[in-house]
Each structure stands twice: as structure tokens, then as C-alpha cells.
Homo-oligomer: A and B are copies of this chain.
Amino acid sequence: MSASSVELDVLTAKDFASDQEVRWCPGCGDYSILAQIKKVLPTLGIPKEKYVFVSGIGCSSRFPYYVETYGIHGVHGRACAIATGVKLANPELSVWVATGDGDALSIGGNHFVHMLRKNIGLKVLMFNNRIYGLTKGQYSPTTELGKRTKSTPWGSVDRPFNALSVAIGAEATFVARALDSDPKQLCEVLERAARHEGTAFVEIYQNCVVFNDGAFEYSHKSQRADNTLYLEHGKPMIFGKEREKGIRLIGTHPEVVTVGKGGVAMDDLLVHDERAAEPTLAYLLSRMRHPEFPEPVGVFRCAEEKSYERRVYEQVEEAKKRLGEGDLAGLLQSGEAWEIT
């Protein structure tokens, strides 16, 4: 573990295991996410020491302790803002944010939307378990209306956020959804996120066995085909065990159809376009929720757009070109100066 990675040509998941005991509850969905991250990181061609993991506070935010890279376990809600500073200070680093639905969308909501709008080159993994795990079971901004939790014994009266709609409303350039219960798809999405230039936001449905067990049961293996829609760029939107169902657009509203029935042909189906000029399609997809619709998973949107840090450093270069490399003595003497002898 102490071997420095520059000497290693090929990294493996093991290289990314830290010496800290993992302290999540047995059966927590966080384990699956950790495992996939450890699988993906070594494949990205980035040396271990160039990764930084930043988090806030929550069960999910313990994540950085368990990855043998640089890391900051921040304060509640501030992960995106702290990570912004890391990335702006050194754009060479691969900076990842591990956050929860409470950390990112409740107390941290503002930093979250501003990071997205600025398009700061961070990979943001939001572990959505629709509950506050670490503080033992209060409802979160993604908890369903009516749900009874520790702080809503009479049922929640709060309409939940749709995390992806929020992100799209905030000018996100990369938006995806993945499942802790589908490691393969999770890996794919993580790889795509890693390669995006600006902010890559991934919502991961994560099971909290203790305080919200089964929240995403409909997306688990046995029911997945009928209840989720796997998005692929340029492909028509098809789902179902027999891949018999699809999505068709009526004006700006999607509807579920069965291919071959009622005169619906493959060509009538909506075709996914990650890179559309405007994110309206991605927004529309984010509104499709179980049980009315299959919930889309995969990459909703991936638009090419300069990252914030690139613009920042281009401006530094521009300033140097126009004014020359900063000369301290010159700066101090600038303005009207006079001599006293």
C-alpha cells in the first residue's frame, strides 16, 4: 500500500483500498458503489495520487476514507464547494464528490446548482437513499409525499425534488442515473462521467437497509426490465422483459406504448439524444417516474461545453499575454508614485 503509484504501470482495485475499516451497516448499498469505484478508477489511466475524493457529512460522505487517494471529508452540504476549490487550484487533479441526497440537495443545494451552472469539472456521485441515514432516519428532499419517517410521524407533506430535474434546471451538462443494484450499468455510467469535461452528475439509487429498506425495489433485478428504461444515445427508447414496450412523444408528453400494438411501429418511438442543443429532452425524461413510467437510467444528457476551470485558466493566460507575466516590483510601484529623498 505504501508503494508509490508512479512505479506501478497497472493499478488494480486493491490499490484503491485504504487501510480504514469500512463502517457502513451490513447490507448497505454504499458497499456496491465503493466496489464499482474501486473497479473503475484503475482503468482510467490516471495515477492514484491524482485522484481527490471530497464529501460532506452523511453515511455516504464517509466514502473518501475508504479510497486510497487524497480526500477531504468536509462539513455537511459543502462538498461541491470544497471540491470546486480543489479543482480550480489544480485542474490536473481528477476530483470526485461523494454526497447524499441530504448533503447535496438539502443543506448543500445551493452549492450543487452553482457548481452545475458553472460547469466545474467534478464527478459528482449522489447516493440517493431518500432518507437521512447518518442522523437515523429523518426524511430528505427526495422522500416521497406521505412517507412516515422519524420526523414525519404523520407522513411527509413535502413534495420531493426530482434530483435530475433540478440538475437540468441548473444548466447541467452531464446528467445520469445509476443503480447500486446494477453494478455493470453503474460501472458504465461512472466511466462516462469520468470522461466528461465539465460537471458530471450521477444520481445513484442506493438502498439504506436500516432506515428506508426497499425504496428502490422496483428497480431490482427481477423487476428491472419493466420498471426502468435503459437510455442509449441515438437508440429508440425500448424497455420491458421482452423489449416489447417503448416511449412515444405526444407534443411534449411521453407515453408508454407497446410496439406492434395499435399500429405503433419502432419508428414511432422517441430516439434518445444526449447531445441535443437544449436539454428539453433530458428534462422530459427526468419527469418519467415509477410507476406511471419506467424510470430512465443511464446518461440523460452529455453536452460538450468548456469547463469552468478551463475558462479560468484561459483568462489567466490571456492576462499574461496582454500584461506580461506578473512582476511584483512593477505592481507595487503601479499607480501614481512619487519620490521622497
Contact = CB atoms under 8 A, between A and B. Distances in A.
Interface of A: 106-110, 113-114, 117-119, 141, 154-155, 157-162, 165-171, 249, 251-253, 276-281, 283-284, 287, 305, 308, 311-312, 315, 318-319
The complex is assembled from copies of this chain, and their number is 2
B118 A166 contact: no
A280 B276 contact: no
Nearest to A171: B159
A171 B287 CA distance: 10
A276 B110 CA distance: 28
A319 to B, nearest CB: 6
A160 B308 CA distance: 12
Nearest to A316: B154
A113 B109 contact: yes
A119 B311 CA distance: 37
Q: Which 7 residue pairs spanning A and B have beta carbons closest together?
A: A169-B169, A157-B311, A110-B110, A109-B110, A252-B280, A278-B287, A280-B284
A59 to B, nearest CB: 22
A105 to B, nearest CB: 9
A168 B169 contact: yes
B280 A159 contact: no
Given A287-B280, A319-B154, A170 B166 contact: yes
Contact of A277 (B106, B158, B253): B253
Q: Which of A157, A167, A279, A312 has the most CB of B within 10 A?
A: A157
A253 B155 CA distance: 40
A280 B253 contact: yes
Nearest to A315: B154
Contacts of A279: 287
A24 to B, nearest CB: 27
B169 A170 contact: yes
Contact of A252 (B110, B117, B276): B276
B157 A315 contact: yes
B109 A159 contact: no
Given A166-B170, A168-B169, A158 B287 contact: no
A264 to B, nearest CB: 18
Given A113-B113, A165-B169, 12 more contacts: A107-B110, A113-B161, A113-B166, A117-B141, A117-B158, A154-B318, A165-B170, A166-B169, A167-B169, A253-B278, A253-B280, A280-B287
B252 A159 contact: no
Given A166-B113, A167-B169, A169-B170, A284 B252 contact: yes
